[in-house]
Amino acid sequence: MKSSLISFIHKLRHPVPFCVVLLLLTLLSTFFNICFGAVDLSPGDILQVLFGTSASDSSIGIILHFRLPRCCASLLAGAALAVSGAIIQSVLANPLAAPNIIGVNSGAGLLVAASCALFPSAVWLNPLTAFLGAFLGVMLVVGISERIGASRISLILSGVAISNIFSAGIDAIVTVVPEALAGYSDFRIGGFSGVTMSRLAPAALIILVALVLALTLSPQLDILTLGPDTAQSLGLPVKPIRTLLLLIAAALAGAAVSFCGLLGFVGLIVPHIIRRLIGENSLPLLLGSALGGAALLSACELLSRVLFSPYQLPVGIVMSFVGGPFFLWLLFRQKGGRIRGRNS
């Protein structure tokens, strides 16, 4: 019996069945997310609303205008932030790097705040400005850490400094233009209050395109993780590919920030768990991170609604309770500054 269980677990750690399990968990968390909250709905209520049969007005309002947009937002943000974190960790060869730690999220947030203050009616601009801010953040941190010594700690400290500067900029904008960010506390903590399908659409398009590009470039990411010298000797144009992958990571994180705020730790937790379970190969890592991030954030979104129902917590609070201890554990556990390569 014990040997059969161990054999079953080993089979699950193969990328294909593992991703199938993650997909099922994502679908299950999505279903629970739509069913449960301050008002519980039955599967029959959901089917009636989705297929346009006789449903009550209250069920229609709850599902179409509240739970479905938040559910889609949690899936998209979870997948985007997790894949962004996986790319950043692999490209920078730093297991502690993540969008919220090295200033990517706060850079996106700064330009979103500036865009909302200057062009309050141009909501469609937010994903674009968030992408520009995220890319600015990651390139600043990489440039500073390389200048002072590209070690693990210098990268993290540079990210913390840049993140605080960007956060101060967000505070300054909101102080001068208070109406720039509606629901500012939710934006700073990270949450999905007020999200609508129309607001989600531009960011969703960017996230889906960036995810496809990331999966397409997984072979190049595999070569890049062998080290710049080895990658160069194998004919890979290291700097252009590195910049392109960081652009994709910035697009993913920036698009997510444009509708979920400065949500942290998804891009740190999920890639580490996926790496430990199925290894370093980039294609299953990125695909597993996308599914794992979607499932994790969807589950946290559900918890944020039901833990203190009828009161609701921003989902960023739940993620901080999960991610903070994980980050401390990771700090104590890490002995080197680089992700181990496949042959090490």
Q: pLDDT tens digits, residue range 96-118?
A: 788 888 888 899 989 988 888 88
- Tell whether the model's pLDDT for residue 76 goes beyond 70: yes
If one counts every other C-beta atom within 10 angstroms of the C-beta of residue 167, the result is: 18
191, part of any domain: yes
Of residues 208 and 124, more confidence is placed in 208
Q: What is the mean pLDDT of the chain?
A: 83
CA distance 219 to 116: 38
Average pLDDT over residues 319-329: 82
pLDDT tens per residue across span 252-296: 999 999 888 888 889 989 998 898 888 889 999 999 999 999 999
4, part of any domain: no
CA distance 99 to 81: 7
Roughly how many angstroms between the first and final C-alpha of the chain, as a whole number?
34
The parent domain of residue 271 ranges over 18-333
Give the per-residue pLDDT at 157: 78
User: What residue spans of 93-151 are helical by DSSP H?
Assistant: 104-118, 126-148
10, part of any domain: no
pLDDT tens per residue across span 138-195: 888 878 877 776 566 777 778 888 888 998 998 898 888 887 776 666 778 888 887 8
Burial of 9 (0-12, 13-18, 19+ CB in 10 A): exposed
3, part of any domain: no
Give the per-residue pLDDT at 56: 64
Do residues 154 and 337 make contact, with C-beta atoms less than 8 angstroms apart?
A: no
87, part of any domain: yes
Please name which of 321, 273, 315 lies closest in space to residue 298, comparing C-alpha atoms: 315
Average pLDDT over residues 312-338: 76
Token digits of residue 113: 């705040």
If one counts every other C-beta atom within 10 angstroms of the C-beta of residue 308, the result is: 10
- Tell whether the model's pLDDT for residue 343 goes beyond 90: no
pLDDT tens per residue across span 8-36: 444 556 778 888 889 999 999 988 888 88
- Tell whether the model's pLDDT for residue 341 goes beyond 70: no
Minimum mean pLDDT range among 181-185, 211-215, 223-227 = 181-185
- Tell whether the model's pLDDT for residue 340 goes beyond 50: no
Q: What is the pTM of this model?
A: 0.86
Of residues 309 and 227, more confidence is placed in 227
342, part of any domain: no
Average pLDDT over residues 211-224: 94
CA distance 268 to 289: 10
> Which letter, b or e, does each residue of 97-121 get, where b requires 16 or more Cβ atoms within 10 Å of its Cβ?
bbbbbbbbbbbbbbbbbbbbbeeee
CA distance 42 to 30: 14
Give the per-residue pLDDT at 54: 60
| Residues 6+ positions from 128 with CB-CB distance below 8 Å | none
Domain at 51, CATH number = 1.10.3470.10
Please name which of 284, 282, 244 lies closest in space to residue 15, comparing C-alpha atoms: 284
Minimum mean pLDDT range among 129-133, 192-196, 230-234 = 192-196
Q: How many CA atoms lie within 13 A of 163 on its CB side?
A: 18
Query: How many distinct structural domains can be found in the chain?
Result: 1
173, part of any domain: yes
6, part of any domain: no
- pLDDT > 90 fraction of the chain, expressed in percent and rounded: 26
Give the per-residue pLDDT at 249: 93
Sign of torsion over alpha carbons 310, 311, 315, 321: negative
